[in-house]
Amino acid sequence: MTEKKSVLVTGGAGFLGSIMVPALLESGCKVTVLDNFMFKQNSLTTSCANPDFSVVKGDARNEELLKELLKNADTIIPLAALVGAPLCSLDPIGATSLNLDGQLTLLKLLSPSQQVLMPITNSGYGVGEEGKFCTEETPLKPISLYGKHKVEIEDRALERENTISFRLATVFGMAPRMRTDLLVNDFVYRAVYDRAVVLFEGHFKRNYIHIRDVSRAFLHAMENFETMKGEPYNVGLSDANLSKRELCNVIIKHIPSFVPVEAPIGEDPDKRDYIVSNEKIEATGFKPAHSLDMGIQELIKGYTMIRDSVYGNV
């Protein structure tokens, strides 16, 4: 019997982690989560009965704590972050200490043999050229503080051989630690409850990916680590490079009473506008299993159960 792989997930009780940790346990991994539970979330309660799951309440910037937890880790998934441009703008000092300094500390403490699966954002592409797909070779031009930190960490992480980075598209879908402030999740929430949304720069395009496909991409990389290591990969739906207006049109198919209104003045503080190629990760055998339509249907069901601003990051 082969020994179970030991995985350390920092920030594992957050939006991504609340789906990824149960998936890792189901795949046969031993999983330790480090989280400060800043959102008072109880997102991993159903994993507590699993003897392969352990959880530590603490700060991912605590070097001594990291040293202790890294001793037995084969794979590290650093999800701990202040996530998104708005939250990082609200707390730039906290964002720098966690998203940049904390990650650099983690990388410094790793042994060469430890494997890292690093979540990055494809918002690093900034503003792309019309009609031209951003590939992993496209120069990165991050606009937000969040994007700038992620790009710097990716550079440093890929300097070590045993790292794979994932340039994640905008994530959507239901999770035990919910985020209603992500674009698809937000627009569906508004469609369900407000029946309308005001679009700022509705022609801006971006790519999207379901939260469960993010977990599937990480598991796929663990299984194919030797052939994928040392590289960045875009992770998104190849049929979902959509403008905000086009996204609204997809939602209208499910909620016909939804009315998007173009704002005559004002700007989107998140300036990203680009389309993305996901061919590189697809060439490794990975294919998303959850469409945008499936995610919208899922969110509509989820929002039947929740209506509360505590599910956003800001």
Task: Report, as ranges of residue numbers, the positions in the chain whose pLDDT lies below 70.
Answer: 1-2, 309-314
By CB atoms closer than 10 A (0-12, 13-18, 19+), residue 60 is buried
**Res 2: pLDDT:** 65
Q: What's the CATH superfamily of 6-311? A: NAD(P)-binding Rossmann-like Domain (3.40.50.720)
- What strands, in cross-sheet order, belong to the sheet with 75-78? 53-57, 30-35, 6-10, 75-78, 115-121, 163-168, 232-235
Nearest to 279 by CA among 270, 288, 271: 288
CA angle 209, 213, 215 (to 5 degrees): 125
**Res 147: pLDDT:** 92
* Residue ranges per structural domain of the chain: 6-311
Phi (first) and psi of residue 26, to 5 degrees: -65, -30
Tell me the two tokens of residue 215: 């977990």
pTM above 0.85, yes or no: yes
Tell me the two tokens of residue 125: 């592409």
